[in-house]
Amino acid sequence: MNAMKKQIVICRGGLQSGMSLLEVMIAIFLLAFGLIGLGATQSKSIAMNQSVFYRSIAVDLGNDLADRIRAVRTPFIVSVGATVTPDKPADFSKCSPNPASCASQEADRNTYQTLVNAEMLEWSNVLKSQLPTASFTLVAVPSASPDYFRYTLTITWLDNRKDNSTSTYSVVIE
């Protein structure tokens, strides 16, 4: 019967109060885990914001080139019944990005050759200053109106969101 004796331990203060070390460690672990998750979310948000910023620059530059093309082309548009036949507008797609230069226009399209060269050189410099790793292609196909072109502009840049991948933006200019 001696072996079956119960031991009763009486605490001096009565009931236990306060936290144990284990409870504190668990609370700190949960707080740290939450803060790490918050930091990862913030980091991903910053990377996505940078990507969106680059894309908005590409959209803005695409619209800028569209305005430049339309501004040079505008003097050539006349009404259908006009007796004067205007010169054909210059072909912007003859300009290459690296180095920024334009090939000679066809004889019937060379009225504004100097202006086209200046516009494309300036636009290319703006592109390189805004998106340093960017390049572009400008492809012309005949449009519905005779003697005019429909351009497809594609801007490609390095997007550092993931493993040096590239992003592209394309716009059709009529």
DSSP structure class, residue 85: P
Question: Which has more confidence, 31 or 7?
Answer: 31
pTM across the whole model: 0.69
171 pLDDT band (50/70/90 cuts)?
A: very high
pLDDT at residue 65 tops 80 = yes
Q: Which two tokens stand for residue 54?
A: 């680059």
The closest of 88, 172, 87 to 137, measured between CA atoms, is 172
79-to-76, 83, 170 alpha-carbon distances in Å: 10, 9, 31
Beta strands in 23-115 (DSSP E): 95-96, 101-102
Mean pLDDT is lowest, of 14-28, 31-45, 128-142, for 14-28
Q: What angle do CA 125, 77, 173 make, to 5 degrees?
A: 40
Q: Does 46 or 106 have the greater pLDDT score?
A: 46
With bands split at pLDDT 50, 70 and 90, how would you rate the model's confidence at 172? very high
Distance CA 23, CA 32 (A): 14
